Structure 1
């Protein structure tokens, strides 16, 4: 439910705040007072495109804020997905500036228009007489009928969408394979060559890095051997009649001689012993490594040939051995397909035929369900139209079969007759504004029974009606307000008199500017405003008495 609306610097509104109540809220006011501007502001905070032109002259910003009670579990997932805090209230604000893009926030968090619309679509529905395009769309009409379906029907809708997508993928695959087999024999030869070339190479993971490392080693084997040999020589051979090992032996011997008389030298002695041992061990290991080197010129030539082979395959089929084998798998699959082309295509055709039959079976079941739903829907709309004083109205849902698609095989269109002797025509062809208002109200009445949207806004949908029809429309709107909050802009006394809360929008001239304001009316003020609607500018005692009687009749 919409609790509060705040509007600042919007068109002729400078600073306006209004608190709405449950039930039926009616807004009245003279022409040009700003009634529709309030609805425009509400629409903008709910997600309509923001234009800087609406900023009040002389101001650099406009601000709109709408506060709703949080009643719907359906919103929780949207809030969680977008890290929006969820509380007892939902506060939506829009700040429109001259020097920057507008900013929209939900509970203090900035949100893009796409997320805002997902939220507000579940909070409020605004309907004006000239805003009936959604029900004119045949796809929306089909969605409306589907919304009245059972859980099984809705599951079938989802299942059909999945199955038709799968069917379309199979058809695309069939078409693609059909196109790509124009030169089948030549492609088979090429694929066979590629498969043999990769398989004959017997590639392993070592071919990715170990080959290059081994090649670098063998290519530098002479230098490696020389360096190791020289290292061993330095460790073991004499230099000026003494080797490094001999030097260590001599050093340890000298320390040993004085160890008895100087115990403090014992740690150094131990460390020297360890160094001597490790030097001997290194010397032995280097000699073993040198003796283990197995090298021949033939090894180097073979290795170089292997590297060229692997690099050539990588250049053709992938940057690594793993990539090459992936390419091999795809090539084998394509090779098998082409070698068994007729069999494969027949199998694919059979699968397409099977899937299409299953989709058609499901679509026909859905079509039967839609026709059953439509019969009940027709009866409900017919009843509503008669109650709304379109006594000769007839309504039907016309079905035409169309090619299978994700939404089934039904082309559907709402058709109506409003006068005796006329033929059925599409809903969009209704000429009378008054008739269109009542037809849309009939739809809203039925939809109010099933959807969870708690706030409905009617912007002068009573245009073009009067007398008893106005009374009937007022009663219908009042009935809807028993289970939903309704906000209605109206000029008809018959509708205004049944309101639970009545607000008047007034326009004032203040120095060189025009200001629009809104206030909630007391009973006495309501009588005066109703009298104005009944009698015009000159309010007579007769008009006042009639207005008081209307309110008394409605329980005021």
Structure 2
């Protein structure tokens, strides 16, 4: 179901007769239908409308749900560039020549608009291009375009020489009269006239169309809309310009580049439930600078704290609202123009279109869970994704500025050498790992030496004894036989006598007698023949047993020397086995085990010399990257010093000067390089440069920190920046400068600023007021957007305290008009 509208803005051509007629018709028709109508100031003046709600384009963007643009495509472009920062839909009534962007026919506008107001419409989303003229990658001038950004000479046409880089990769160099960089919306405008292709409006692409190229090979180029285009000039002339939609011209000076990219994404909505003293809160955010103010203790930073938790911050049980079971926090981001975040979501299989939902649930017992697009994730993933979405600059950032490691982080953030710093960390890890391998090898070498010595001792006596598998059982048996040979011979002879050798009586002779008797009985009764057969068999067995026993006695050895040898061998084997805590039978296998260990020690590879070479090689590689990082830091330190010094002058430190010392020491190599970074400052004439902690006062330190944050933020590609009371210690004209800096930053990215200064709050494109109320038992925080009238009241309160007077209201109007 499409959104229905409550407040409708009327904007467009302020002087064209037919356009004015349509403006007046629209105003009266919409008022008659009961809508709240807001008319652009110039149009209201031309129509001489009385008692009508008027406002600038920005104010209409803040307060209206729908803007109706009456005029031609130029009016539509101019209005849309401003209104794109706000949550507002835009539709056009054609009172121009072509009407590519203005959808409604003026002759049938009422009926068509009535259908739209009833919710019968289709929303088309068109992306904008952002053009920045940069000095050392720091934007000095910028604007946006819906149709195209055009590089061209100033007043006199002439050939331009320039280089084109796409995502920092050289694409081509060209000599031509200029270059048109167009959106799909603009592909039917100036780009078409120059021979560019027509693109479907919803296509995520950008076209580069040369203007009268001085070569036959130049052709239009279509690239992904997520790409960044950089224009560099080798032979610079002073009259080059960048124009946006043929309405805004940005001059290009010597040494400046031009960056053109799709306008970045943003934090769209924050929902808070049962957090701190907030019961329920839903905040819709918009492009540009948003100021957040309120009374002391009202909870101005609660929204920032809640957002920090959505990004993986540490949770505590006392963050849950008293009496509630859990706090539920949810941040919704529009990621259409944030390829790094979209790529991260895709790599982690968490993508869900061009929006992203970060959620944090905190139980009253202190446990918490994190979610990305409805999937439960570890907090580390919330933090990883959060770094791609938002930078939060806290109110204590000026204290962090005193720490050398934070100074290094700031310098690296400005330099933008992510690839080099990542390479440094990898090279250091390789070197550190090779050092650990060497240390382990040296440790093992010592252990191997001790092991080899022990093996040598153990194997010396085992080798001398030379145990053989199965030997112990054999010699033990032989020993028992020899040790009992006398008894064996005597008893064997006695047995032999009983069997056959006794002269008087023996088994053999007695069996002979029995056999003779049984032979007579068989002659009388044949049934006894079986008994006779058995006796015959027994006679044979006794005869054979007697022969075998006689042979045994003849062979029985009574050698005492052999007995002594066996006794010594067995005794030695038992002694060695007991020494190694094994059985005698296990001694041969144990001997073989020690032999195998000795062979393994002898065969181990990876000599000390090879490892030493690897350590030296990795150290040199790490040093080479550290040196490249050092050179980059030195270069960017000079640029950053100049920019910060200029900002210090504008922030009421006219004699201020900042220097950044980058000292290279190869003996202090870390994963961040081999540099010691030291920010030094002088705030008064004749004062030498000294470390920040020794020179800068609290107020001066706050201003320096703020200048650095604003400058480095311009180099980042995160969609949103948050400044939480970073203007502490600043007042008066300096505060006005800070506000303008933040507003300028808000032209190219989303900025949220918690402040207590009216000069800063008055510079915002949007303004939220934070208040709290209590019923005597419970306290609750509210946060609401301010319209123009409410905003004047809040600025007047900030200027004069709780009592708002005519003077403070007049001053507040001046702040908004500045």
The one of 650, 655, 672 equivalent to 1:392 is 655
In structure 1, the partner of 2:603 is 333
1:517 Cα offset (Å): 1.0
In structure 2, the partner of 1:116 is 382
Q: In the alignment, is the contact (CA less than 8 A) between 1:27 and 1:487 conserved in 2? A: yes
In structure 1, the partner of 2:286 is 21
The one of 145, 161, 182 equivalent to 2:428 is 161
Task: Assess, with a 3 A threshold, how the Cα gap between structure 1 residues 132 and 111 changes in structure 2: closer, same or farther.
Answer: farther
The one of 439, 443, 456 equivalent to 1:176 is 443
**CA displacement, residues 94-113 of structure 1 (integer Å, 9 cap, x when unaligned):** 22222572222111111121
1:329 Cα offset (Å): 6.8
Tell me whether 23-32 or 76-85 shows the greater mean CA deviation. 76-85
Q: In the alignment, is the contact (CA less than 8 A) between 1:414 and 1:426 conserved in 2? A: yes
Where in structure 2 are the equivalents of 1:2-151 lying within 5 Å? 2-70=267-335, 71-99=337-365, 101-132=367-398, 135-147=401-413, 148=415
1:374 aligns with 2:651: no
Where in structure 2 are the equivalents of 1:145-544 lying within 5 Å? 145-147=411-413, 148=415, 153-154=420-421, 157-158=424-425, 160-169=427-436, 171-173=438-440, 175-176=442-443, 179-180=446-447, 186=453, 189=456, 312=589, 316=593, 330-334=600-604, 345=608, 349=612, 352-353=615-616, 356-357=619-620, 359-400=622-663, 401=665, 402-427=667-692, 432-510=697-775, 512-544=777-809
Task: Assess, with a 3 A threshold, how the Cα gap between structure 1 residues 171 and 52 changes in structure 2: closer, same or farther.
Answer: same
Q: In the alignment, is the contact (CA less than 8 A) between 2:329 and 2:361 conserved in 1? A: yes
1:375 Cα offset (Å): 2.2
**CA displacement, residues 180-214 of structure 1 (integer Å, 9 cap, x when unaligned):** 476698368479989x99xx99xxxxxxxxxxxxx
Q: What is the TM-score with the length of structure 1 in the denominator?
A: 0.68
1:50 Cα offset (Å): 1.5
1:520 Cα offset (Å): 1.0
**CA displacement, residues 68-106 of structure 1 (integer Å, 9 cap, x when unaligned):** 111432234543454323321111122222257222211
Q: In the alignment, is the contact (CA less than 8 A) between 1:153 and 1:369 conserved in 2? A: no
Give the secondary-structure state (helix, strand or coil) at the position aligned to 1:491. Answer: coil
1:398 Cα offset (Å): 2.5
Task: Assess, with a 3 A threshold, how the Cα gap between structure 1 residues 429 and 114 changes in structure 2: closer, same or farther.
Answer: farther
Q: In the alignment, is the contact (CA less than 8 A) between 2:630 and 2:662 conserved in 1? A: no
Write the distance in 2 (CA, Å) between the matches of 1:150 and 1:116.
24
Q: Give the unaligned 5+ runs of structure 1.
A: 202-307, 318-323, 338-343
Q: In the alignment, is the contact (CA less than 8 A) between 2:351 and 2:373 conserved in 1? A: yes
Write the distance in 2 (CA, Å) between the matches of 1:155 and 1:100.
35
Q: In the alignment, is the contact (CA less than 8 A) between 1:397 and 1:415 conserved in 2? A: yes
Q: In the alignment, is the contact (CA less than 8 A) between 1:389 and 1:472 conserved in 2? A: no
Write the distance in 1 (CA, Å) between the matches of 2:599 and 2:714.
58
Q: In the alignment, is the contact (CA less than 8 A) between 1:149 and 1:370 conserved in 2? A: no
**CA displacement, residues 14-47 of structure 1 (integer Å, 9 cap, x when unaligned):** 1111111110001111112221223222222222
Write the distance in 2 (CA, Å) between the matches of 1:520 and 1:458.
18
Runs of 4+, deviation exceeding 6 Å: 190-194, 308-311
**CA displacement, residues 247-289 of structure 1 (integer Å, 9 cap, x when unaligned):** xxxxxxxxxxxxxxxxxxxxxxxxxxxxxxxxxxxxxxxxxxx
Q: In the alignment, is the contact (CA less than 8 A) between 2:431 and 2:615 conserved in 1? A: no
- Identify the structure with the greater strand proportion: 2
User: Aligned Cα RMSD in Å?
Assistant: 3.7
Task: Assess, with a 3 A threshold, how the Cα gap between structure 1 residues 163 and 143 changes in structure 2: closer, same or farther.
Answer: farther
1:430 Cα offset (Å): 6.5
In structure 1, the partner of 2:77 is none
Task: Assess, with a 3 A threshold, how the Cα gap between structure 1 residues 184 and 352 changes in structure 2: closer, same or farther.
Answer: farther
In structure 1, the partner of 2:815 is 550
Write the distance in 2 (CA, Å) between the matches of 1:463 and 1:541.
27
How many residues matched?
A: 433
Write the distance in 1 (CA, Å) between the matches of 2:743 and 2:593.
77
Write the distance in 2 (CA, Å) between the matches of 1:382 and 1:497.
26
Task: Assess, with a 3 A threshold, how the Cα gap between structure 1 residues 103 and 367 changes in structure 2: closer, same or farther.
Answer: closer
**CA displacement, residues 129-157 of structure 1 (integer Å, 9 cap, x when unaligned):** 22456544433433443452668845752
Write the distance in 2 (CA, Å) between the matches of 1:465 and 1:146.
27
Larger radius of gyration: 2
Give the secondary-structure state (helix, strand or coil) at the position aligned to 1:35. Answer: coil
Write the distance in 2 (CA, Å) between the matches of 1:193 and 1:451.
71
Task: Assess, with a 3 A threshold, how the Cα gap between structure 1 residues 42 and 185 changes in structure 2: closer, same or farther.
Answer: closer
Write the distance in 1 (CA, Å) between the matches of 2:296 and 2:418.
48
Q: In the alignment, is the contact (CA less than 8 A) between 2:298 and 2:770 conserved in 1? A: yes
Tell me whether 409-418 or 453-462 shows the greater mean CA deviation. 409-418
Write the distance in 2 (CA, Å) between the matches of 1:89 and 1:38.
20
Write the distance in 2 (CA, Å) between the matches of 1:94 and 1:151.
29
Give the secondary-structure state (helix, strand or coil) at the position aligned to 1:6. Answer: strand
Write the distance in 2 (CA, Å) between the matches of 1:154 and 1:440.
23
**CA displacement, residues 284-316 of structure 1 (integer Å, 9 cap, x when unaligned):** xxxxxxxxxxxxxxxxxxxxxxxx889926994
1:374 Cα offset (Å): 2.1
Task: Assess, with a 3 A threshold, how the Cα gap between structure 1 residues 82 and 328 changes in structure 2: closer, same or farther.
Answer: farther
Q: Give the unaligned 5+ runs of structure 2.
A: 1-265, 469-584
Tell me whether 76-85 or 104-113 shows the greater mean CA deviation. 76-85
Q: Which has the higher contact order (CA 8 A, sep 6+)?
A: 1
Write the distance in 2 (CA, Å) between the matches of 1:67 and 1:81.
20
**CA displacement, residues 195-251 of structure 1 (integer Å, 9 cap, x when unaligned):** x99xx99xxxxxxxxxxxxxxxxxxxxxxxxxxxxxxxxxxxxxxxxxxxxxxxxxx
Write the distance in 1 (CA, Å) between the matches of 2:430 and 2:326.
51
**CA displacement, residues 341-371 of structure 1 (integer Å, 9 cap, x when unaligned):** xxx5556556655554555455445434432
In structure 1, the partner of 2:262 is none
